[in-house]
C-alpha cells in the first residue's frame, strides 16, 4: 500500500534558524509527493510537489523539499524560519485509482506541528 510517515509530531525552531520537517514514503513505482500546510481552523494549502525531475523542489513561501530515492524521503526545508511559519504540515502521496485512468486520491501523513519561537 502507498503510504507516507511523518516521524515527528512536533518540531520547534527559533526564528531565523533553518527548519526541516521530515517525511518518508513507501510506494510501488514512481512516487508523486506533496506537502501541504494547515493553519488553525483552516483548510489545506498546497506548498510544493515532486512529480519528476530535479530532486530539489522549490515551492511557496520560501519552502523547498529534497526528494531522496535511496532513503525514500521527502523532507521539507526552509533556510530561515519565520514565526508566521508556525502551522501543521502534512506530507502526502498520490495513490492512483485502482480502476485505471488518471484520477487519484492523496494519502496523508499524520502531520507535524511546527512551532517557530521568536
Residue numbers at the binding site for other proteins (CB under 8 A):
32, 34, 36, 41-46, 49, 51, 90, 92, 94, 97-99, 101-111
CB closer to other proteins out of 61 and 104: 104
CB closer to other proteins out of 98 and 118: 98
Q: Strand 19-21 vs strand 73-78: parallel, antiparallel, or unpaired? A: antiparallel
Write down the least CB distance from residue 79 to other proteins, Å: 23
Write down the least CB distance from residue 109 to other proteins, Å: 5
User: Phi-psi region for residue 70, left (φ > 0), alpha (ψ -120 to 50) or beta?
Assistant: alpha
Contact of 77 with 18, CB cutoff 8 Å: yes
Write down the least CB distance from residue 15 to other proteins, Å: 26
Amino acid at each position: 500500500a502507498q503510504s507516507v510517515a511523518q516521524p515527528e509530531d512536533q518540531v520547534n525552531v527559533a526564528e531565523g534558524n533553518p527548519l526541516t520537517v521530515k517525511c518518508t514514503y513507501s510506494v510501488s513505482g514512481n512516487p508523486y509527493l506533496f506537502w501541504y500546510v494547515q493553519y488553525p481552523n483552516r483548510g489545506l494549502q498546497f506548498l510544493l510537489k515532486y512529480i519528476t525531475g530535479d530532486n530539489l523542489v522549490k515551492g511557496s513561501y520560501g519552502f523547498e523539499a529534497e526528494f531522496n530515492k535511496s532513503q525514500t524521503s521527502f523532507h521539507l526545508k526552509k533556510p530561515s524560519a519565520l514565526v508566521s511559519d508556525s502551522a501543521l504540515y502534512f506530507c502526502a502521496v498520490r495513490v492512483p485509482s485502482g480502476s485505471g485512468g488518471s484520477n487519484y486520491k492523496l494519502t496523508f501523513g499524520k502531520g507535524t506541528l511546527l512551532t517557530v519561537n521568536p
